[in-house]
Amino acid sequence: MTQHLAAIALVVRDYDEALDFYVGKLGFELVEDTGLSDTKRWVLVAPPGAKEMRLLLAKADNPEQKTRIGNQAGGRVFLFLHTDDFQRDYEAYRARGVRFLEPPRQESYGKVAVFVDLYGNKWDLIERRG
């Protein structure tokens, strides 16, 4: 049997502002943007070169969902973005206004720094060793 995770939902305030950040600042690719109703869209983005995993940008549509925007992991790092060139991406993100919460550090598994998206969700930017 073969399985893989295809997408993870990320609750957002607005589709277009989320696209501005994920596509405009992080350089993700827009995979799909399909209207489902007057207020709902199926919006998938992915990092450059990603083969399987996508982010589904899911607009909050009730008060409970709105409370989750920016804190889907209870304050912990929520998403882990691996790169083949940490310094290139770190510098590009900083130049585009992405806010890092700490300077880069070397860990046993590789180079890492925590940044936040436009809503406050924490991400690890990681270049793995070997």
Q: What confidence tens digit (pLDDT) does each residue in 118-128 have?
A: 999 999 999 99
Rounded to a whole number of angstroms, the distance between the first and last alpha carbons of the chain is 29
pLDDT at 1 (0 to 100): 93
Six-digit token string for 62: 């009730």
Mean pLDDT, the chain, rounded, equals: 96
pLDDT tens-digit series, residues 66-96? 999 999 999 999 999 999 999 999 999 999 9
Same domain? 9 vs 19: yes
Same domain? 36 vs 53: yes
| β-bridge mates for residue 125, sequence order | 81, 113
pTM, two decimal places: 0.93
Please enumerate in sequence order all residues whose Cβ is within 8 A of that of 13, keeping only pairs 6 or more positions apart, or say none.
59, 60, 66, 69, 119
Rg of the chain over Cα atoms, rounded to whole angstroms, equals 15
Q: What CATH number corresponds to the domain at position 129?
A: 3.10.180.10
pLDDT tens-digit series, residues 15-30? 999 999 999 999 999 9
Same domain? 76 vs 61: no
Split into its structural domains, the chain has a count of 2
Tell which of 69, 101, 121 closes a domain: 69
Same domain? 37 vs 85: no
> How far apart are the C-alpha atoms of 130 and 110, rounded to whole Å?
8
Question: Among all chains, which residue has been given the structure tokens 């589709």?
Answer: 15
Same domain? 40 vs 97: no
pLDDT tens-digit series, residues 33-66? 999 999 999 999 999 999 889 999 999 999 999 9
pLDDT at 130 (0 to 100): 77
Same domain? 78 vs 113: yes
Residue type, 104: P
Same domain? 57 vs 75: no
Domain that holds residue 84: 71-130
Tell which of 44, 69, 94 closes a domain: 69
